[in-house]
Amino acid sequence: MFLQFMINGIIIGSIYSLVSLGFALVYNTTRIFHLAYAVLYMFCPYIILTFYSNLGYPLIIAFIIAIIITILLSLILEIIIYRPLSKKGSSDNIIMISSIGIMIVVINIVAMLYGNETKILNQNISETLTFGSIIITYTQLAQFLISSFLLVVFLMFLKFSKFGIKTRAMRDDTILCSVFGSDIYKMRIALFTLSAIFAAVGGGLVAYDVGMDPYVGMPMLLNAVVALIIGGIGRFEAPILGGFIIGILQSLSVWAFSARWQDAVTFTLLILFLMFRPQGLLGEKRRTV
Amino acid sequence: MNNDTILNIDSIRKSFVRNIVNVRGKDEDERFFLLEDIDLLVSKGKVTALIGGNGTGKTTLFNIISGFFNADEGKISFMSYGKHVELTGINAYKIARLGIGRMFQDNHIFQNMSVLENMLIADDKFFGERPFESILFYKINNTIEKQRKEKAEKIFAELFGDNNPFLKMKNEKAKNLSYGQQRLLGLARLLMGDYKLLLLDEPTSGVNPLVVEKIKELIKYFVEQKELTIFLIEHNMNFVLDVADFCHFMSKGIIAMGGTPEDIIGNPEVRKAYLGI
């Protein structure tokens, strides 16, 4: 049984990593505490629902359309809300509060259009693969493969392309970036696009497994933020490590206690980290003077 | 603007708001002009120094040239690739692409990136910047990445000799370099871009005399071998006397005096107003 829960933990951990990485991508570079990111995670499955269940498109096509629409939503947020605020030089808190505002508005619009109740995408019982005593559904397999693929590609991207170097440079100093000829706002468009892809893929894959309601975004976002803090703010590998740790710990807490203890375990871990290692696992202590 | 001038600063005015206590004892915002009326020419292929007391607006002027601030009035024109370009109202990144390099007084490097990456980011070829370019054209991308690395290593070898600390530490984080080395890295990086004019904000502040000598050497090399034009802010008068061809003294929002460094620094008024001797 232990092994089964471990595997479940790794699979859900890969989703946490993906979602957390999308959040980190925006937070590390622009310092926007992008709470509306939760909305992107919730929004994608509803578009899949529309195109797949209501309009009868094939699942893959519906998924791709949903990702594209989620990207558009993300860019609208950046262009209409964040960019004007940051050009005016608003403080991070103002941007965060406007982000909360957008989140509430979009959640309520979705609730109005689709209803508050839980919807499911996959009506059938998922087929399974059995390895000895371990059972994995095909949905879980897809979750793990797709998210790991995206994680690996992104990390290579970050390491070896000029875009990656610029992303990491933006994390260090945006003003210095523009001195070397980078258009910060173009970079931000790319970053918001990538982060929307991660949120949409994560949201879609989870919703295909367990269904969704308009409020699924926030708990996921909290997990993503905890993963980011545990891994270490400021590095792009960190949320991936944090995501896997949280996924495995949550799954093992189901095994040891009960499913109700998942969040308690997550936030206990957060408190411990904030007290004893605030820079996170991969983070480095900053020189304070 | 004749052909020897690369940068023409024409009656620039810039105001800020400051908080004062008025005659009735209440707080009040007052607008004042930090830059009253700045006229200045920077000659091509020369080193021009700008001196003046703290808070006279030297860095503000640099920020206006490189596009971080907008001037209230006046215009700046720059000779870029044989054409006159008005810099007023253009974004900072576009000004960089026109060929104006900038080094800040502090935080001039990306602390958490490796020494080599610090060089790569300043490259004048922008290929691979768009997110999917490097995947779609990975062969071209590989060649260009390789060229970039060779270029960076060549610059290090040219400036600091073969066995230099930058080549040895190229994969370490730049924050592990000493402060003086960080400054030299910041200067070396300016050669990666295709710049015509370099704005250096106090290149020698806070570094030891050996590094100051090295910076002198680099500036001479930039001007003589690379045909760059340098416009710098400096408080170290010996340094100005050694490297600068022209010197301008800024005071009370205007360029109070201009000429050769010997004339300006030897001038009794400047000595009294600025140097205090």
Task: Name which of B170, B145, B146, B167 is nearest B156 in CA terms.
Answer: B167
CA distance B23 to B26: 7
In Å, how far is A174's CA from the nearest CA of chain B? 10
- Give a yes or no: residue A288 inside a domain: no
Amino acid in position A186: K
CATH number at residue A214: 1.10.3470
Specify the number of domains making up chain A.
Answer: 1
pLDDT at residue B1, as a whole number: 54
**Within 13 A of B7's CA, how many CA atoms are on the CB side?**
30
Residue A285 pLDDT grade (very low, low, confident, very high; cuts 50, 70, 90): low
Helix then strand then coil, in percent of chain B rounded to 5, is 35, 30, 35
- Give a yes or no: residue A289 inside a domain: no
Mean pLDDT value across residues A260-266:
88
pLDDT tens readout for residues A158-187? 887 888 888 888 888 888 888 888 888 989
How many angstroms from the chain centroid is the CA of residue B33?
23
- Give a yes or no: residue A125 inside a domain: yes
List residues of A whose CB lies inside 8 A of any B CB: 153, 157, 160-166, 168-169, 171-173, 175-184, 190, 193-194, 234
Is the CB of residue B253 less than 8 Å away from at least one CB of chain A? no
Write down the pTM of the prediction: 0.86
Region of B206 please: left (phi>0), alpha (psi -120 to 50) or beta: left
CA distance B223 to B46: 7
CA distance B214 to B161: 12
- B 74-93 residues with CB < 8 A to A: 91-93
**pLDDT tens digits, chain B, 277 residues: what are they?**
566 888 999 888 998 888 888 888 888 888 888 888 889 999 998 999 999 888 888 999 999 998 888 888 898 999 877 788 888 888 888 898 888 999 988 767 888 888 998 888 888 777 777 777 777 787 888 888 888 888 988 989 888 888 888 888 888 888 888 888 899 999 999 998 888 899 999 998 888 999 999 999 999 999 998 889 999 998 888 899 999 999 999 888 888 888 898 888 888 888 887 777 6
Contacting residues for B214 by C-beta, under 8 A, at least 6 apart: B184
Cβ distance A168 to B112 less than 8 Å, yes or no, reads yes
Cβ distance B107 to A234 less than 8 Å, yes or no, reads no
A258-267 contacts at long range (C-beta below 8 A, 24 or more positions apart): A263/A219, A266/A222, A266/A223, A266/A226, A267/A226
- Give a yes or no: residue A287 inside a domain: no
Q: Among all residues of chain A, which has the CA nearest to that of B106?
A: A176
- Give me the residue from A163, A172, A184 closest to B110, CB to CB: A172
pLDDT at residue B231, as a whole number: 93
Residue A247 pLDDT grade (very low, low, confident, very high; cuts 50, 70, 90): very high
Task: Name which of A202, A169, A200, A205 is nearest A187 in CA terms.
Answer: A169
In Å, how far is A250's CA from the nearest CA of chain B? 32
CA distance B175 to B179: 9
pLDDT at residue A287, as a whole number: 52
- Give me the residue from A165, A166, A181 closest to B96, CB to CB: A181
DSSP letter at A124 equals S
Residues of B in contact with A74 (CB under 8 A): none
pLDDT at residue A63, as a whole number: 94
Residue A157 pLDDT grade (very low, low, confident, very high; cuts 50, 70, 90): confident
Enter the tokens of residue B143. 């060649």
In Å, how far is A27's CA from the nearest CA of chain B? 16
Whether the predicted pLDDT of A67 surpasses 90 = yes
- Give a yes or no: residue A282 inside a domain: no
pLDDT at residue B130, as a whole number: 73
- B 228-247 residues with CB < 8 A to A: none
Is the CB of residue B111 less than 8 Å away from at least one CB of chain A? yes
- Give a yes or no: residue A283 inside a domain: no
Cβ distance A183 to B113 less than 8 Å, yes or no, reads no
- Give me the residue from A178, A179, A190 closest to B131, CB to CB: A190
Strands (E), A173-254: none
CA distance B2 to B7: 10
Is the CB of residue B32 less than 8 Å away from at least one CB of chain A? no
Whether the predicted pLDDT of A288 surpasses 60 = no
- Residue ranges making up the domain that contains A187: 2-276
Whether the predicted pLDDT of A99 surpasses 70 = yes
Residue A11 pLDDT grade (very low, low, confident, very high; cuts 50, 70, 90): very high
Size of interface A-B (CB pairs under 8 A): 88
Query: What value, to the nearest 5°, has the Cα angle with vertex A101 and ends A96 and A106?
Result: 125
Residue A8 pLDDT grade (very low, low, confident, very high; cuts 50, 70, 90): very high
pLDDT tens readout for residues A190-222? 999 999 999 999 999 999 988 899 999 999 999
- Give a yes or no: residue A193 inside a domain: yes
Is the CB of residue B97 less than 8 Å away from at least one CB of chain A? yes
pLDDT tens readout for residues A104-121? 999 999 999 999 999 988
In Å, how far is B120's CA from the nearest CA of chain A? 8
Mean pLDDT value across residues A144-165:
88
- Give a yes or no: residue A255 inside a domain: yes
Mean pLDDT value across residues A138-146:
92
